[in-house]
Amino acid sequence: MRLTQIKIGELTTPTNVFLAPLAGYSNAVFREMCYNLGAGLTFTEMVSAKALCRGSKKTEDLLYVTPTYGGLKACQIFGADHDYMRRACESEALAPFDIVDINMGCPMPKIYKNGEGSELLKNLDTAAMIISQCKKSGKTITVKCRIGVDESNYVTAQFAKMCEDSGADMLTVHGRTRDKIYAGEVNWREIAAAKNAVKRIPVIANGGIFCVTDAEKLMVKTGADGVMIARGALFNPWLFAEITGRDAGDKRGAVLRQIAATRETMGERFACVYMRKLAGFYVKGKTGATSLRLKLLNCKTTQELEELIADIDF
């Protein structure tokens, strides 16, 4: 894959291979792990602009960044009210972040039915107002979208042009429609349409990347400036090293360090529940994976997890 830096506004990323916002997964420890493996940019899981403006401690906790994180700091917010969105960008909670990404692609019913996420694909005027108001905060603003709500309503090129004209500094396009959720083939032609529709901002291709070949093919077919990895990173965070040519290092050791860091940062209970689920993804495709996954899910403490993982050949 063609590796390069990406210029986003006045900022520059070290690589053009990014980690997507992953609800329930892209916490501070996981983001740092992926960054150290070669991810040029990592995003927090999406957070509600309204909740931030109302001082929600639970929401602010999702924005935690480890003191040792060495990359650009990027978060993702969602909402449909431009005033709340701008206020969130200007809030103290987002002050540490270099980049604020606006979610305009989430397909989940509770988000979509509230006029947020991919519902904004149907209302370009509202989307444009949100982007332009967020841009007034002085933050570097990026957008993540889908190609339409269904296959009879592709809006990719028009939406991409609107994002550029409204002041967005980068656009990431997930090459599926809202109704497909995460199923089906990625429509690379629509991602290419977004790339061809803009002149001044980078376009990042997202969807269906689970190996180096997937990333290479999507770059070639779309002409995108980079790729963003989502579920592929959950099963194999070392994919960032594979794509960028870095040494993946000791994988077993990395998982053990991840458990320890998650426990230290977020507590024993969270670390146990989160890491037994994530480790279950990591063992996919390995000999005896089903049995291993069951054992992992039955662990009651992080110590049990560590003892089990110490015997797994990653």
Give DSSP secondary structure letters for 181-197: TT-S---HHHHHHHHHH
Q: What is the C-alpha end-to-end distance of the chain, expressed in Å?
A: 25
Neighbours of 235 (CB within 10 A): 16
Which helix or strand (DSSP H or E) is residue 141 part of? strand 140-146
Alpha helix segments (H runs only) across the chain: 28-36, 49-53, 57-61, 82-89, 109-112, 124-135, 156-166, 188-197, 212-222, 231-235, 239-244, 251-266, 268-282, 289-297, 302-309
Q: Which of 75, 89, 106, 145 is catalytic?
A: 106
Residue 160: CB atoms within 10 Å? 26
Catalytic site residue 53? Answer: no
18 touches 259 (CB < 8 A): no
**Degrees (nearest 5) of the Cα angle 296, 239, 48?**
75
List the one residue out of 62, 19, 12, 13 whose CA is nearest residue 43. 19
DSSP string, 261-279: HHHHHH-HHHHHHHHHHHH
Token pair, residue 63, equals: 């924005």
Residues noted as catalytic: 106
